[in-house]
Structure formats: C-alpha cells, structure tokens
Copies of this chain bind each other. A is one copy, B any other.
Amino acid sequence: MEFVTFENVRAAAGRLGGIALRTPLLPFSENTGQPLWLKPESLQPIGSFKLRGAMNAIACLDAERRACGVIAYSSGNHAQAVAYAAKRYGVPAVIVMPDVAPRIKAEATRAYGAEVVEVPIGDQIAKAHALAAEHGLALIPPYDDGEVIAGQGTVGLEIVEDLPDVDVVLVPVSGGGLASGVGVAVKALRPQTQVIGIEPELAADTAEGLRLGQQVDWPVADRARTIADGLRAQPSELTFAHLRKVLDGMLTVSEDEIRAAVRVLARQARLIAEPSGAVTTAAYLFHSHELPPGKKVAIVSGGNIDPVLLTTLLT
C-alpha cells in the first residue's frame, strides 16, 4: 500500500491555486480558555471540500486520458465536485446516481454540465465501472485514491500555514479521505498538533475500528440513521490505514448535538453548515472536556443542507 506523503499534498496545493478557494480561518470564540477557529469549506464554489480532491485527481490524469472524460458515482457532494472540476478542465463528466436521490441533487449536478445517469439504488458502482470501461472514462473515486486524499489534505496545509501554533484539529470522518489528507499534512508540518476525527454516534464505525485496531463493518441501515448524510460511508483499506497512522483520537457526537451545532453556526458564525459539516463544532461545544487543551480548529466540511431542514433547525 502506498501512503500519501506531504509532498503529494504540497503538489496538490500548487494545482488547486485559483480553483479551490483558500478558505479563511474564522475566529469563533477567541477569548475563552478554549479558543476555536472555523475552517469554512462550506464556502467553496460547490459548498464542500470535495472540490479539492476531485480537482487534484483530474489534474493528475494524463492529458490524453483526461480528454476522454471522467466518471463518478455519488449522490452527494462528490458528484458536484467532479462535475465542477471537469467543467473547469473542459472535459466531459458522467455522474451515476441512484434513482432515489433527491431531484435537486441531479439538477445541481447537471447545472455544472455533467451527464447524470440514474440507476436503481445499489447498482451505481457496477454501472460506473461498466460505463468507464465502455467509454474510456477515468473513474474518480470519492476517497479511495491517493490523489483525492492529497487534494483534501490541502485543508490541513492551509490550517497550519494560517495558524502555525494550532494545537488541535477537528475533522469529520466518513470515507476518511479528508481526515487522511488533513492528518498527513498537519502531522508533517507540526507533529505535536493533535488531529481528532469526529463521527456521529450513529455511524461510529471508524471510532470502533480504530479502538479494535481493525476495520469493522456497520450495516448500511444503521449508518443511514444519522442526520449527517455525508458521514454514512466507511473507510476503505487505504484510508483506514492512513487514519490509524495520522489520527490521535476519535470522538463521537449525538444527533441532538449535531442539530444544535448547525443552529449555533448559523446564529453565531453566520455560516450555513450541513449536519456533516457541523459535527466538529458539536464536538467543541459539547465535548470540550474530552478534547486536548489549546488552540483548536474545527473543519466545517460543507454547507449543502436542504432549506426546509435548515429552517427546522434555526429556531
């Protein structure tokens, strides 16, 4: 297995200049014993950090292969990331989605110029591989890929550049691409900084797996219970190996804590966060006694929340 290196992350940062937004660190609670800054990836053009990994993976394809087009399976933020990145490169993109995905997601993806192929739920991965082979499209995985991980790692690079004495970085964990990349970057630049992964209690497979020292498999139906719809995936062998190496710990948050964190981010930071993006703030707000002391950064990974759900959480 080949581990992503800090040099991979630094190279990705060079490719992302002028494409991914360099998100600022927002001081959230400066004058307490627990100073916190937010890293609002919700402000990326597609509303999520996923743009970084997709863009880097597409940039790393050889030009001839890239020109044939790219394909991805996703009904979430990765779909829009690949569609957006392909458009920036002027290459065709096909996104395979389950036909039960909300219509709004398919439309958002089409708006970036991608072709959306809808298939019965469960068939997406097979269909994507079949179409890739048939049409010579390059498959861009959501997290199980070194260049995707390196792209997401640029979030960590920017955090340490902007707050060189950061003590704790809180990062959401799902498939593990973001947490792997951030961990690689932060540990390379400042080994004493603690990188803590955050999961919903209802999808805490990684917390359990790291405790046991081996991957565990939670049933999809169990993981689907959390409101944090971006955190229902599980690490691959590649990302799990990275997480074992770079994370200093895991912490889980409840559904009520996630809902409250969405509300606090809206009211106090004027940020629209999706539940998956709010888990790190939930950890800060409700579990500070379980976190190492010092200057903390919470990665707000995305902001694509249904407006109706947002209204129910705001007041």
- On A, residues with C-beta under 8 Å from B are 21-24, 26-27, 30-31, 40, 42-43, 45, 47, 87, 266-267, 269-273, 303-304, 307-308, 310-311, 314-315
Contacts and interface: CB of A to CB of B under 8 A. Distances in A.
Given A271-B272, A307-B314, A314-B307, A24 B27 contact: no
B47 A307 contact: no
A298 to B, nearest CB: 15
A4 to B, nearest CB: 27
Contacts of A315: 307-308, 311
Nearest to A43: B26
Contacts of A24: 21-24, 43
A21 B43 CA distance: 15
11 contacts: A26-B45, A40-B43, A43-B269, A43-B270, A43-B271, A266-B310, A270-B272, A270-B273, A270-B304, A271-B271, A308-B315
B307 A270 contact: no
Contact of A271 (B87, B270, B308): B270
Contacts of A308: 315
Contacts of A311: 311, 314-315
Given A21-B27, A308-B315, A303 B43 contact: no
A266 B42 CA distance: 11
